[in-house]
Structure 1
Amino acid sequence: MNLEISIIVPDRIFLRDNAHTIILPTLTGQMGVLTNHIPLLTGLDTGLILVRKSVSSDWIGVVVTGGFALVNDNKITILVNEAELGSEINAEEAEMAFLAAKSALENASDEKRKIEINSQFKKARARLVCFNSIV
């Protein structure tokens, strides 16, 4: 038995597939889901969703920015603001965005600016980690 996964962005269904395992970036840390998981609704942080189609397959990375995940009856419905497949990430662009966001965060002078830049930093870090983990 597999998990049915649906990742939905505001304007479309981004990904619909079956998987053996999924790891979600929740607001309190990473959480793995296997078949027959208890029903659950959790908030998602900006980060990396990892999907494994079978025990022996490679991980598929999806960078997401905020949202929610509902787990029920071996179905996982994920609603997010943005999603990007790791296989579509340009390495040089991801590294440049990460370094720029890191520098901006280190040089931010007030708390409001730090909060704004922190979300950019999380997304840039997730894109870089995703690219590096799937290569």
Structure 2
Amino acid sequence: MNLEVSIIVPDRIFWKEEVKEIILPTLSGQMGVLKGHIPLLTGLDTGRLVLVRTASQSNWILFIVVMGGFALINNDKITILVNEAELGSVINLVDAESSFIASKLELEDALDGKKKLEVNAQFKKARARFMCLKIKSLI
């Protein structure tokens, strides 16, 4: 048996499948999970979630951009609750790159504390979307 992963957004189950490995964007950095992982509840940052499946029928790596939430790991089942999720395969590279550059410049110019927090959230999302595609092009 592999890991059973469920990604849930506020209005539906976004994705559900068995995988061999998952890499989560936690609040303290990336964390890999394999079969037999100890039970854990962790906060998720905005970032790129990586799902790896190696099976006799199909091998794939899937990237999903998640926007904050939580992951519960228990008995080889991972339940991920996030505010927003987006498949890396549907992200347009040109849009993602221009959004990343624009949000980076806006973050550098932000002076006000509240504005800086808002822009930082936009920057993290844009960076995750862009990096998802950059990594995918290297594989």
Report the TM-score when normalising by structure 1: 0.97
- Structure 2 match to 1:93: 95
Alignment RMSD (CA, Å) = 1.2
1:49-106 deviations in Å (ceiling 9; x for gaps): 0000117933210000000000000000000000000000000000011011001000
What secondary structure, in the 3-state scheme, does the structure 2 residue paired with 1:53 have?
A: strand
Shift of 1:109: 1.4
What residue ranges of structure 1 are gaps of 5+ in the alignment?
none
- Structure 1 match to 2:53: 53
What residue ranges of structure 2 are gaps of 5+ in the alignment?
none
Structure 1: which 4+ aligned runs deviate by more than 4 Å?
A: none
**Whole-Å separation in 2 of the counterparts to 1:57 and 1:127:** 23
Shift of 1:36: 0.6
Aligned length: 135
Shift of 1:132: 1.4
- Give the aligned residue type for 1:67: G
- Give the aligned residue type for 1:16: K
Percent of matched pairs sharing the same residue: 61
- Structure 2 match to 1:24: 24
What secondary structure, in the 3-state scheme, does the structure 2 residue paired with 1:58 have?
A: strand
- Structure 2 match to 1:34: 34
Report the TM-score when normalising by structure 2: 0.94
